[in-house]
């Protein structure tokens, strides 16, 4: 099975292509929020590198979030369009799970915490307990909504009390490193290199889940996990004039 993975949950744009024979190609761009401009050329580049035509792709995987609203919209829309055009299934994977899977080889039995910058002074976060599982979702605790750095710090203290020292990764950990670095129970050494979910790890995790029997979904059923309204909607709600009641009938 040839798998194409699309990663746009953070400011990075990433694409990975994994062929049935194990050959793989990956492109990651860190030029900022240029998801729409960089994604399609990156897909073409990995296909050209492996000499794999788009028609040979069997599964399109997308990071469905949580993460940047615009990035997720571009990535999921691209994955949906490609899968529909090719007549192949899709699979959505959490950005937090991908970060944890990438950190697992370095955790030394510790609990891993993925922290994704949600902007507006908030983060998305999930903790993955220690254990032999290959799939991070097998032992996951996560916040259903974005949280403040203060809430994150309090939560991490509680996790340290239960699990001991933690490994923390993700661009949210990088952004708030000054606050987190003073806690001796937190290891942030992998956070800079694992600031964004690696698309190759996402492809591997998708194949693992497919082999474990996780259902693949039709292109039309692939949905982003925004976890809150778009910034444009929030700005409008804050700026729109109040509704003035009309005269009584």
What's the rounded Cα separation, in Å, for the pair 185 and 165?
A: 4
Q: How many CA atoms lie within 13 A of 196 on its CB side?
A: 22
Residue 159 — left, alpha, or beta (φ > 0 → left; ψ -120 to 50 → alpha)? alpha
Rounded Cα distance between 91 and 84, Å, is: 13
Span 96-147, pLDDT tens digits? 999 999 999 999 999 999 999 999 999 999 999 987 788 999 999 999 999 9
Neighbours of 241 (CB within 10 A): 5
The set of residues, in sequence order, having a beta carbon less than 8 Å from that of 1 and lying 6+ positions away, is 20, 58, 59, 207, 210
Strands 59-65 and 166-169: unpaired
For residues 114 and 126, the answer to whether their CB atoms sit within 8 Å is: yes
Confidence of residue 233 (pLDDT cuts 50, 70, 90): very low
How high is the pLDDT of residue 31?
77
pLDDT by residue (tens digit) across 55-78? 999 999 999 999 999 999 999 999
Query: What domains, with CATH codes, occur in the chain?
Result: 3-95+197-228 (3.30.420.40), 96-187 (3.30.420.40)
Q: Tell me the backbone φ, ψ of residue 229, rounded to 5 degrees.
A: -65, 160
Q: How do residues 139-191 score in pLDDT, each as one tens digit? A: 999 999 999 999 999 999 999 999 999 999 999 999 999 999 999 999 999 99
Q: Would you say residue 237 has pLDDT above 50?
A: no
What count of residues does the chain have? 249
pLDDT tens digits along 82-100: 999 999 999 999 999 999 9
Of the pLDDT bands very low, low, confident and very high (cuts 50, 70, 90), residue 211 is very high
């Amino acid at each position: 099975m040839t798998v194409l993975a699309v990663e746009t949950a953070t400011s990075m744009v990433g694409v990975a292509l994994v062929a049935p024979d194990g050959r793989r190609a990956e492109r990651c761009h860190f030029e900022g929020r240029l998801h729409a401009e960089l994604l399609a050329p990156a897909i073409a580049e990995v296909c050209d590198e492996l000499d794999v035509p788009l028609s040979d792709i069997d599964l399109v995987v997308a990071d469905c979030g949580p993460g940047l609203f615009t990035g997720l919209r571009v990535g999921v829309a691209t994955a949906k369009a490609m899968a529909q055009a090719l007549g192949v299934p899709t699979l959505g994977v959490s950005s937090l799970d991908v970060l944890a899977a990438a950190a697992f080889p370095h955790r030394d039995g510790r609990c891993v915490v993925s922290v994704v910058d949600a902007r507006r002074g908030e983060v998305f976060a999930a903790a993955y307990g220690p254990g032999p599982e290959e799939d991070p979702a097998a032992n996951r605790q996560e916040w259903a909504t974005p949280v403040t750095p203060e809430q994150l710090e309090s939560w991490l203290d509680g996790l340290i009390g239960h699990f001991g020292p933690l490994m923390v990764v993700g661009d949210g950990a990088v952004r708030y490193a000054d606050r987190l670095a003073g806690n001796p129970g937190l290891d942030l050494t992998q956070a800079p290199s694992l600031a964004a979910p690696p698309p190759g790890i996402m492809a591997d995790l998708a194949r693992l889940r497919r082999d474990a029997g996780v259902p693949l979904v039709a292109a039309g059923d692939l949905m982003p996990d925004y976890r809150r309204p778009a910034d444009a909607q929030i700005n409008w709600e804050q700026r729109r004039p109040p509704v003035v009641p009309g005269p009584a009938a």
